[in-house]
Structure 1
Amino acid sequence: LRKTLPDYMVPSVYMMLERLPLTPNGKIDHRALPAPDARPAGDDHQAVAPRNATEALLHDIWSDLLNLPTISIHDSFFDLGGHSMLALELVRRIKSSFGLDMAVCDVFRLADIESMARSLK
């Protein structure tokens, strides 16, 4: 897939299911799909925990949005399953939590907690 699709279209996590959940109309029931709770395949690096209050608050926001209990401050938002709609919600929560405006394009530019925290100071 990486040879033919842009990076943002390549799934970051693959899950094997016995069968896909279907709606009564026979279409895939996206709401009934299990949330991925594993790190991307082949990802065996050590997680770096938040080192200050800003990183800790960002970690909590990311963890809630991405439904992942453990995130390294060096993990990419998009490699963990983030996408443009979640980036919009992330920007909203950052404004609510920090009282600071952040543009959605900044989420793409500052795609890890460490970089994002540094820009919020």
Structure 2
Amino acid sequence: MVTRSVALVLSTATSAAATATALRLADRLLARGHRVMIFAHGTAVELALADSPIATAVAALLRRGVHGATLDWVVEAGAVGGRPTVDGVVAGDDADLWSFVREADVVLAPGGGQPWRGGS
């Protein structure tokens, strides 16, 4: 089996169907041994906060690394604002996003947009 690297760029939080689908896709990719890189910005940062309604699900995805899959989850540091995140989530910046994009075989951005940039 060929192993792929897939980058998911998330911009909206739990209420968005696209984000929920992306997390299910990440779960399936990890189950098949692929590398998944998630970069969360804007309101999607809330997904990885320690008190998030889905913090347990995020932690379960990160634990898949123990079973041979690889998941890197980076949140935009400026959007975290010092709030605690799920263990294994790393605060980063656009350099991390660019690294994920360069390394990935496939890049998906459900919902698209760049809400942290503001303006038009």
Taking structure 2 as the reference length, the TM-score comes to 0.26
Which structure's relative contact order is higher, taking Cα pairs within 8 Å and 6+ residues apart? 2
Larger % of strand: which?
2
